[in-house]
Amino acid sequence: MKIKTALALLLMLVLIMSSVGCSKLFNDKTPDPNVPGNNDPSEEDPQEDPGDDPTLQPTDNSVNAPVTQVPQEAVSAVSFAVIRKGDLWLGTDKDHLWRQTDSALVSEAVWAPDGHALAFLTKTSESSLCSLYTLVPGESPVLVDSDVLTISVRNNWRGFLWSPDSSQLAYAKMNGKEIVTVGPQAGEGRFLIDLELEQGPYWLANDRIAYSSTGERPSLVIVNTMGDVITTLADTSAPFPIKDGFLALTGEHTPDGLTSFFYTGLVHGGINGDNVRPVYAQSPEFCLYSWNPQEPSRNDSTKYFALSTASTLSLQKYAGSGPQEVELLTQDVFLTYSEFSYPFWFSWAPDGNSLGVLRFTLTQEGEYGEQEGVWDLGLVDREGNWQLLQEEVYSVSGDEYPIPFLTLPLNWAPSGSHINYLVESSDGDDLWQINVTDKKSSLFIEDSSLPVYRP
């Protein structure tokens, strides 16, 4: 059961939610009494602004701080969102944080590509359905819709919820049988889909949406915002948007086999589902892969995405001429009692020239339950050169389940100067940062998720 839980977290089946009017979605500042953070029975006004002093006053950063709108003088300086004990917070730095909800139900937050607002999801039960809100910094959250279903693919938020021009949101309704698009200029659109949604929807362009459907044989479907089908790709699923196209899982249908369908690799295609070609020819079942937005602008004619198996981290070609694969790094493999393997975690540096990596090393070999090991945090560049940043960031012994067995525990600050990582504490996870130049670590925020940075 623990293995299934960890696998579910790895694939990040993150879900979403639904509606009150399209103009209100982006413009109406009237607080909704059903919105987390607006349900104080005392009806007191939010905490007063710090004043006209251009230097912001320190904020109450305790997890029990009152819900407070971001003061207007700080709105433009808001640079990230975090989730703390199930509530959404906005911040400019470690000393200036403002709590935005008091529901303890927030599960995910995604900034609009232009940074004007973010969308966040709340989940109230074991059901896969959620509620969807938007939040403009300095204002109150607005309920968009409830009973929403949206499922992300392998830690990828590019094209998730928000259209590339930040004008619309896309999500599923009716337990995945209907896709909805909403936006102040486009109004609201709804269209039924033939099979229940399995993953997505994702935006490939302002008028292109991709999702994969369930069934004995999965299909990846690309539609426009009116619901007209552009392309259906059989035996393909899990759309992963990149610039001018997508990556996706592909497989084979074997009705007489032990399993009727199994995945065999990854493909790359254009936004209309054209020019689909294989880019990885091994089972991607437990792979982690990630694409850097700087890749298309690199001088090198060969374009790569990063991919890790349980033991190996590589660059995998998706366009241009050059080696199909560039192996960067290997690690030891922790033994499990099934064929499940834990991820080789990594995160692209903002400039696309290196990756932050958690590399596992066995310190004691043995059968399942007897092994011990540690994770070191370091950097690896595109030529495979390894630089250690910090030893033994995490450890495991016996049947323990440390953070790297449960979720992606690291990402980068946009400046590229720091790597964020999670550290277990007595009452949850704390957010730490390490300076990649002097290799010094420091506590950033207590009881916090990884930050989601404003574009």
Query: What percent of the chain clears pLDDT 90, i.e. is strictly above it?
Result: 71
Structural domains in the chain, CATH included, are: 14-36+105-285 (2.120.10)
Q: Report the pLDDT value the prediction gives residue 333, as an integer from 0 to 100.
A: 92
Phi and psi, residue 72, nearest 5°: -60, -35
Helix or strand run (H / E) with residue 230: strand 229-234
What is the per-residue pLDDT across 338-375, written as a single tens digit (0 to 9) for each? Answer: 767 788 999 999 999 999 999 999 999 988 888 999 99
Residue 300 CA to residue 279 CA, distance in Å, equals 18
Residue 46 CA to residue 59 CA, distance in Å, equals 13
Rounded to 5°, the CA angle 308-313-314 comes to 100
Strands (E) located in 349-451: 354-364, 372-381, 386-397, 410-412, 418-425, 428-435, 441-445
Token pair for residue 291? 């694409």
Closest CA to 406 of 343, 359, 319: 343
- The sign of the dihedral angle between the CA atoms of 230, 235, 238, 242 is negative
- Provide the residue type at 300 as one letter: D
Token pair for residue 396? 């495991």
HSE of 427, CA atoms in CB hemisphere, 13 A? 5
Residue 201 CA to residue 62 CA, distance in Å, equals 36
Q: By the 8 A CB rule, do 141 and 38 touch?
A: yes
Averaged pLDDT, 442-446: 98
List, as one string, the DSSP characters of 174-191: GGGTEEEEEETTTEEEEE
Residue 51 CA to residue 330 CA, distance in Å, equals 54
| Burial classification of residue 186, based on how many CB atoms lie within 10 Å of its CB (0-12 exposed, 13-18 middle, 19 or more buried) | middle
State the Rg of the chain over Cα: 22
What is the per-residue pLDDT across 314-325, written as a single tens digit (0 to 9) for each? Answer: 999 999 999 999
* Local confidence band at 55 (pLDDT 50, 70, 90 cut-offs): low
What is the per-residue pLDDT across 6-30, written as a single tens digit (0 to 9) for each? Answer: 333 333 333 223 322 333 455 444 4
* Local confidence band at 1 (pLDDT 50, 70, 90 cut-offs): very low
β pairing state of 208-213 and 219-223: antiparallel
Instruction: Please give the C-alpha separations between residue 93 and each of 64, 82, 89, 135, 436, in angstroms, as whole numbers.
Output: 19, 11, 12, 19, 18
What is the per-residue pLDDT across 370-384, written as a single tens digit (0 to 9) for each? Answer: 899 999 999 999 999
Residue 82 CA to residue 86 CA, distance in Å, equals 10
* Local confidence band at 187 (pLDDT 50, 70, 90 cut-offs): low
Token pair for residue 415? 């400046």
Strand ordering across the sheet containing 169-173: 169-173, 178-183, 187-192
Rounded to 5°, the CA angle 228-229-231 comes to 155
Token pair for residue 227? 């619901």
What long-range pairs does 83-86 form, CB within 8 A, spacing at least 24?
Answer: 83/107, 83/108, 83/109, 83/448, 83/449, 84/445, 84/447, 84/448, 84/449, 85/428, 85/447
Rounded to 5°, the CA angle 176-182-183 comes to 160
Q: Report the pLDDT value the prediction gives residue 65, as an integer from 0 to 100.
A: 98
Q: How many other C-beta atoms can be found within 10 angstroms of the C-beta atom of residue 304?
A: 25
HSE of 407, CA atoms in CB hemisphere, 13 A? 14
Residue 141 CA to residue 25 CA, distance in Å, equals 9
Residues 6+ apart with CB under 8 A from 104: 85, 86, 87
Helix or strand run (H / E) with residue 8: helix 2-11
pLDDT, averaged across the chain: 87
* Local confidence band at 128 (pLDDT 50, 70, 90 cut-offs): confident
HSE of 75, CA atoms in CB hemisphere, 13 A? 14
What is the per-residue pLDDT across 221-232, written as a single tens digit (0 to 9) for each? Answer: 999 999 999 999
Q: Report the pLDDT value the prediction gives residue 124, as an integer from 0 to 100.
A: 78
Closest CA to 84 of 345, 363, 445: 445
- The sign of the dihedral angle between the CA atoms of 159, 449, 417, 316 is negative
